[in-house]
Amino acid sequence: MHDWKLVIDRANNGNPAPDRRVEKSDDEWRAQLDADRFMVTRRAATERAFSSAMCAIFEPGVYQCACCGTELFDATAKFESHSGWPSFTEPLQEHVIAYKADFSHGMQRVETVCNVCDAHLGHVFPDGPAPTGLRYCINALALEKAG
């Protein structure tokens, strides 16, 4: 199970290798993604809070990376954080999320990226509910819901 200590350790010391890698040029990503999704996933932009209906969707299913289709989160780990972005307590599998120390905008945070294609997903914080105590605050534009 993920916890804040594991997140910080990986952000500072490296992440496990993924099962596969998807690597594309910026031109290939631009051809695949609309402009907003490209800016969020490939340029680490953040969508406006409360701009997606995905925050209020809690039906069973799996949330995949919008860029490469990697299954990232199960709906059972989703919760209402009132932050304006879809929030989860843990990733679906041990190695699908990579963590990076993020010191941008005068803050100290931990960025989450897809470990398969390096798509920016959002950030993780140590203020989530049990059992992990984590809040994966994820841009809806970085996700596709399957099932």
Q: Which residues are catalytic?
A: 137
Helices (H) and strands (E) in the chain, counts: 3, 9
Q: Are 94 and 16 in contact (CB under 8 A)?
A: yes
Residues 6+ apart with CB under 8 A from 98: 10, 15, 112, 113, 114, 115, 118
Q: Which 3 state secondary structure label does DSSP give 110?
A: strand
DSSP, residue by residue, 13-56: H--PPPS------HHHHHHHS-HHHHHHHHH---PPTT--GGGG
Q: Which 3 state secondary structure label does DSSP give 9?
A: helix
